[in-house]
Amino acid sequence: MLFLRTFALMERILLIGSGGREHALAKALVASTSCDKLWAAPGNPGIEREAECVQLNVADHGAVAKFCLKNDVSLVVIGPEQPLSEGLADFLREENIDVFGPSKSAAQLEWSKGFSKDFMLKHHIPTAPYRRFTPTERAAALDHVRIHTLPVVIKYDGLAAGKGVVVASTRDEALIAVNDMFDGAFGSDGVVIEGFLIGEEASVFAVCDGRDFVLLAPAQDHKRIGDGDTGKNTGGMGAYAPAPIVTPEILATVRTRIVKPVLDGMREGGSPFIGCLFVGLMIDGDDVNVVEFNARFGDPETQVVMSVLNADVAALFASAARGSIDASTITTVAMGYACNVVLASGGYPDEYAKGLPISGIDEAEADPHVTVFHAGTSMKDNVLVTNGGRVLGVTATADTLANAVRRSYEACAKISFAGKTHRSDIAAKAV
């Protein structure tokens, strides 16, 4: 028995998801000594290089459980928010399958902005002041934005695929945003109205087992479509890690004033948080506030965070899923630097074409420090084609951030598809 326990279990893992984030997780999982076998559902053409892709209907929880039991899956890793908010982790745990990913009620930290703000207030976690309005309180919400200082931030109180937040600089914009949200632009879950925070954003991921946690390298995303943070919001146009704006002092604050109280509070509330807690920060000098929590890894940040992480990720996630985080699986959370540049379809985040042939990935990856993660690709008649707004995440590592940035852009230049666009200033502020 002792003999068995001293050796890490060989994990048979099912990864749920199909984006660049899942490609990065797949690469890290298969590189783990303790990973025996990796499946991905549904996966994508990039993930297929790392894992056996299976066409499971992820919304059919029974089918996922059946697959796990039939194939002796020891761990399920859930990438995206949708299956978490639909309770996939709860269903699998009831079938005694270990899951890295929070329950539906713990994932409320992401899918209900109102829950998340009330929770932060109760547990003294630093965040912008706010008020929450239920679906029947439209008039009160409109009155509130009439007197609120500008800019004012209006958030839809439910999942809105990253499109449920309006930062309004004028009174008219604010009133329109409130009305739009109550008119059911996304559904009808009410709104949160909060004060505008100034500063620079950063993302910190905590791998959590319900009680203990490990912080991974802090990253910075670039959410706007245009250089200099201009234009529309997107899912994220590029990232780098570690982000120097998150100093060791700030990381200590994240640890003691944010992540620890979250884990304690969620456990006390009967919803222990097991999975990746994504802490979206606004940093202004020494002042640190939480902009948002997500109940999953971020994309594209995961592509850089995993690229610098020196760990047996399979063992780390498995220990988190089993309530016994083992920090000894991590040699270092940041080995050098990584930079990721997203190659997007022309027109994104609005309308864009799909099905356009992609070339040059092998040439880009001829540099051993470069990995091209697939975000929105598919195979058509044996040709790799575009299949989403964010198509590829071109990621490079190096001993300095400047070199990682240079390598990513050199690799980007080798890849072609009609309408290819990208930002030219990823990590420029930090370099």
Q: Which residues bind ligand GLY (CB under 6 A)?
A: 221, 236, 294, 298-299, 301
CB 371 within 8 A of CB 344: no
**Residue 299 interacting partner from ligand GLY, ligand AMP, none (CB closer than 5 to 8 Å by kind):** ligand GLY
CB 173 within 8 A of CB 182: no
CB of 146 to ligand AMP, least distance (A): 19
Q: Phi first, then psi: what are they for 377, rounded to 5°?
A: -130, 160
By a kind-dependent CB cut-off of 5 to 8 A, residue 301 interacts, out of ligand AMP, ligand GLY, none, with: ligand GLY
Say how many C-beta atoms besides its own lie within 10 A of residue 263's C-beta. 21
Residues 177-196 that bind ligand AMP (CB under 6 A): 194, 196
In the set 165, 185, 334, 430, which binds ligand AMP (CB under 6 A)?
165
Nearest distance from residue 196's CB to ligand AMP, in Å?
4
Contacts of 343 (CB under 8 A, 6+ apart): 390, 391, 392, 393, 394, 412, 415, 417, 420, 421, 422
Q: Is 122 exposed, middle or buried (0-12, 13-18, 19+ CB in 10 A)?
A: exposed
CA dist 219 and 251 (Å) reads 12
Does 131 participate in binding ligand AMP (rule CB under 6 A)? no
- Please list the residues that pair with 337 across neighbouring strands: 398
Quick one: which of 128, 175, 185, 398 contacts ligand AMP (CB under 6 A)? 128
CA distance to 29, 263, 298, 362, 369, per residue, from 25 (Å): 6, 23, 11, 20, 17
- Cα 359 from Cα 371, distance rounded (Å): 15
> 323-342: which residues touch ligand AMP (CB under 6 A)?
none
C-alpha distances in Å from residue 72, one per residue of 2, 4, 47, 67, 68: 23, 18, 21, 8, 6
Smallest distance from the beta carbon of 156 to ligand AMP, in angstroms? 9
- Selected from 93, 131, 223, 354, the binder of ligand AMP by CB under 6 A is 223
Rounded to 5°, angle at Cα 299 from 230 and 214: 125
Asked if 153 is part of the footprint of ligand AMP (rule: CB under 6 A), the reply reads: yes
Picking from 354, 99, 331, the residue whose alpha carbon sits closest to that of residue 208 is: 99
Binding letters toward ligand AMP, positions 288-317, x by CB under 6 A: ---xx-------------------------
Question: Is residue 175 a contact point for ligand AMP (CB under 6 A)?
Answer: no
Which of ligand AMP, ligand GLY, none interacts with 251 (beta carbon under 5 to 8 A by kind)? none
Shortest distance, position 3 Cβ to ligand GLY, whole Å: 42
Give the residue with the Cβ less far from ligand GLY, 319 or 345: 345
Query: What is the DSSP-derived secondary structure letter of residue 256?
Result: I
Residue 148 contact partner, candidates ligand AMP, ligand GLY, none, CB within 5 to 8 A by sort of partner = none
The smaller minimum CB distance to ligand GLY, of residues 239 and 411, is found at 239
Say how far apart CA 321 and CA 232 lie, in whole Å.
Answer: 37
Residue 110 binding: pick among ligand AMP, ligand GLY, none (C-beta 5-8 Å cut-off by kind): none
Query: Minimum Å distance from CB 299 to ligand GLY?
Result: 5
Binding site for ligand AMP (CB under 6 A): 128, 153, 155, 165, 167, 194, 196-197, 201, 223, 280, 291-292
